Amino acid sequence: MRRRAFLGGCSALLTAPAFIKGAIAAQPGADLTVPPIMDIDGDAGHILNAGLGQHGFVDGASTPVLGFDQGYLGPILRMKRGNIARPVVTNKTSIPVTAHWHGLHIEGINDGGPHTEVAPGSSWHPELAIDQPAATLWYHSHTHMRTASQVYAGLAGMLLIDDPEAPDPGLPATWGVDDLPLIVQDKAFQDNGRLLYSNRGPNRMHGFRAGQIVVNGVIRPLASVPRGMVRLRILNASNARIYHFGFEDGRGFHQVASDGGLMPAPLAMTRLTLAPAERAEIVVDFSDGANARLLSGPDTNDPMGGRMMGGGMMGRMMVGGTPEAVNDAGDFEVMRFTTDDRAAPVTTLPGMLAGAPMPEFGEPVRRRKFTLNMEAGMMGRGMQISGKTMDMDRIDARMDKGVAEIWEVEADVMAHPFHVHGCSFKVLSLNGQAADPAVTGLKDVVLVDGTAELLVQVNRTADDSAPFMFHCHILEHEDAGMMGQFTVA
Ligand code: C2O
Ligand code: CU
Ligand code: CU
């Protein structure tokens, strides 16, 4: 990444919301809402209805959206290790949708990828045998060439894996009090409150990015937290925006979990970069009782070396707008925290995070190379991986179940968040530098800005009828063809 100066000491007052041309004012500062938890823990049929709804993002307007079981987004699904979860996905919309369990280790047939479309009016009955460490995952529609618009409209939610056998790591765990989900997205609104979206021209090249930051469906919300340690489960559910989170007052925090679950020990940091589809759990100390503002540095991931973002004809064709900067470094507000009188149950962070045993990786038996090509896409053809645009009828790789491989991934023109279905992988190196798994954690998405080497081992099967996907998680790139398919037998 091209890194920018971040979070200078400047404490600008809350600034007016950013406007995009002709758009209505979006009011920040409403209370953070915490989506309800839906336990999917046994045989009972839990129905998840994909449907059309209305959601109040902006004052005085109601926005047509899509959601799972609620207006916008979906409930927090919670599944237990050792159980078979049997959610029923029913499609009450007029378009085909899917429900992909992003980060879940399950067979291809249950994965909810583009081969398992749920037609309007019908239902899908996956059987999810949960066997992986406790983790913060998510779910979203994954319809062939329509994922970006459907996720943007709201077909996404968070998914938690609980491991009843694992020792208690001693982390904050009172849901909605000191354990908060933060589903972070960027949106743009038209005059009438409708969502503004485009995947054409530079919006496709760049990935659609927009000027209003929304957390759990609320524009730049305010969360009231107890004094002490608070755990934030952050999911970047944006189509394309990369965040560089940090607090305005420069306070440090600890990352305790990555995509695939707990890290070996809390990792101290002042800034956290999260690319689309990545998750991180962090613990923030609010015992000082001060108010705090969570900011993000600007997203500088740009195929044109800054020319598209900066303006010019291409810049003007980008319709989503840019969040209003609150300081000279270009940082913008994500949300605010205020402390209340409650004493937090957890006041000290454990030194180690003794979790469940991590999945074991064997010795790698082969290397594969993948190049994420966008040059062809820039010429108006599809985007590609290793010279090929996604084809539902072509299998790009065949893996052996339970056998480790090294995947070398190279990113072309800009940084691409590379995602692999059906597993969590280890990052071995980034741009030729060895990566420390204690720092990266177990991943299912990695931001590749240059080259990466991944240790990939899939312990679930997927056949030609419902293969696993590997793809760029900038959703406009994925829809344009930067995706491939693999089987595991
Ligand atoms: Cu989050 Cu292939 O998806
Ligand atoms: Cu996925
Ligand atoms: Cu990409």
Question: What average pLDDT does the segment 176-201 reach?
Answer: 95
- Give Cα separations from 223 to 132, 190, 237, 293, 339 (angstroms): 31, 27, 19, 10, 8
Residue 426: pLDDT above 50? yes
Question: What average pLDDT does the segment 21-42 reach?
Answer: 77
pLDDT, residue 20, reads: 36
pLDDT, residue 29, reads: 85
User: What's the 419 CA to ligand 1 centre distance in angstroms?
Assistant: 7
Backbone angles phi, psi at 427, to 5 degrees: -90, 120
Structure confidence by residue, pLDDT tens digits, 428-451: 999 999 999 889 999 999 999 999
Q: Which long-range contacts (CB under 8 A, 24 or more apart) does 424-431 make?
A: 424/103, 424/105, 424/132, 424/259, 424/260, 424/261, 424/359, 425/454, 425/455, 425/456, 425/457, 426/361, 426/454, 426/455, 427/452, 427/453, 427/454, 427/455, 428/453, 428/454, 428/455, 429/453
Question: Does residue 102's CB lie within 6 angstroms of at least one atom of ligand 1?
Answer: yes
User: What's the 112 CA to ligand 1 centre distance in angstroms?
Assistant: 9
**What percent of the chain clears pLDDT 70, i.e. is strictly above it?**
91
pLDDT, residue 13, reads: 27
Question: Does residue 419's CB lie within 6 angstroms of at least one atom of ligand 1?
Answer: yes
Of the candidate ranges 7-11, 72-76, 117-121, 408-412, the one whose mean pLDDT is the lowest: 7-11
> Diameter of the chain by CA atoms?
59
Q: How many helices (DSSP H) and strands (DSSP E) are in the chain?
A: 7, 34
Residue 392: closest CA among 144, 94, 25, 47: 144
Question: Does residue 442's CB lie within 6 angstroms of at least one atom of ligand 1?
Answer: no
Question: What average pLDDT does the segment 228-237 reach?
Answer: 98
Determine how β-strand 405-411 pairs with β-strand 451-456. antiparallel
pLDDT, residue 15, reads: 30
Helix (H) or strand (E) holding 55: strand 46-55
**What is the torsion angle, in degrees rounded to the nearest 10, for the CA atoms of residue 187, residue 193, residue 194 and residue 197?**
-30
pLDDT class of 307 with cuts at 50, 70, 90 = low
pLDDT, residue 3, reads: 30
Strand partners, 189: 195
**What percent of the chain clears pLDDT 90, i.e. is strictly above it?**
81
Question: What average pLDDT does the segment 114-138 reach?
Answer: 97
Question: Does residue 142's CB lie within 6 angstroms of at least one atom of ligand 1?
Answer: yes
Question: What average pLDDT does the segment 461-468 reach?
Answer: 98
Spatial contact of 49 and 118, defined as CB atoms under 8 Å apart = no
Distance CA 335, CA 214 (A): 9
The phi-psi region of residue 82 (left if phi > 0; otherwise alpha if psi is between -120 and 50; otherwise beta) is left
User: What's the 291 CA to ligand 3 centre distance in angstroms?
Assistant: 37
pLDDT, residue 14, reads: 28
User: What's the 70 CA to ligand 2 centre distance in angstroms?
Assistant: 22
Q: Which residues surround ligand 2, an ion (CB under 5 A)?
A: 102, 421
Question: What average pLDDT does the segment 413-421 reach?
Answer: 97
User: What's the 479 CA to ligand 3 centre distance in angstroms?
Assistant: 10
User: What's the 66 CA to ligand 2 centre distance in angstroms?
Assistant: 20
Determine how β-strand 123-124 pairs with β-strand 87-91. antiparallel
For residue 478, give the ligand 1 atom closest to its CA: 2
For residue 138, give the ligand 1 atom closest to its CA: 1
For residue 471, give the ligand 1 atom closest to its CA: 2
Distance CA 5, CA 68 (A): 39
Question: Does residue 254's CB lie within 6 angstroms of at least one atom of ligand 1?
Answer: no
Distance CA 154, CA 73 (A): 5
Ligand nearest to the Cα of 371, by number = 3
Tell the residue nearest (CA) to atom 3 of ligand 1.
102
pLDDT class of 355 with cuts at 50, 70, 90 = low
pLDDT class of 231 with cuts at 50, 70, 90 = very high
Ligand nearest to the Cα of 204, by number = 3
Question: What average pLDDT does the segment 156-173 reach?
Answer: 94
Distance CA 220, CA 479 (A): 28
Question: Does residue 469's CB lie within 6 angstroms of at least one atom of ligand 1?
Answer: yes
Residue 10: pLDDT above 80? no
Distance CA 196, CA 189 (A): 5
Radius of gyration of the chain from its Cα atoms, rounded to whole angstroms = 21
Tell the residue nearest (CA) to atom 1 of ligand 1.
102
For residue 140, give the ligand 1 atom closest to its CA: 1
Residue 43: pLDDT above 70? no
Q: What is the average pLDDT score of the chain?
A: 91
Q: What is the token pair recorded at 24?
A: 């209505």
Structure confidence by residue, pLDDT tens digits, 87-107: 999 999 999 999 999 999 999
Helix (H) or strand (E) holding 254: strand 253-258
pLDDT, residue 201, reads: 87
Type of residue found at 285: D
- Give Cα separations from 425 to 186, 252, 311 (angstroms): 28, 28, 38
Question: What average pLDDT does the segment 144-165 reach?
Answer: 97
pLDDT class of 167 with cuts at 50, 70, 90 = confident
**Burial class, 31, CB count within 10 angstroms (exposed 0-12 / middle 13-18 / buried 19+):** exposed
Structure confidence by residue, pLDDT tens digits, 45-96: 789 999 999 999 998 899 999 999 989 999 999 999 999 999 999 999 999 9
pTM exceeds 0.85: yes
Backbone angles phi, psi at 478, to 5 degrees: -55, -50
pLDDT, residue 314, reads: 67
Distance CA 221, CA 324 (A): 16
Ligand nearest to the Cα of 421, by number = 2
Residue 465: pLDDT above 70? yes
pLDDT class of 1 with cuts at 50, 70, 90 = very low
Distance CA 456, CA 362 (A): 10
pLDDT, residue 380, reads: 72
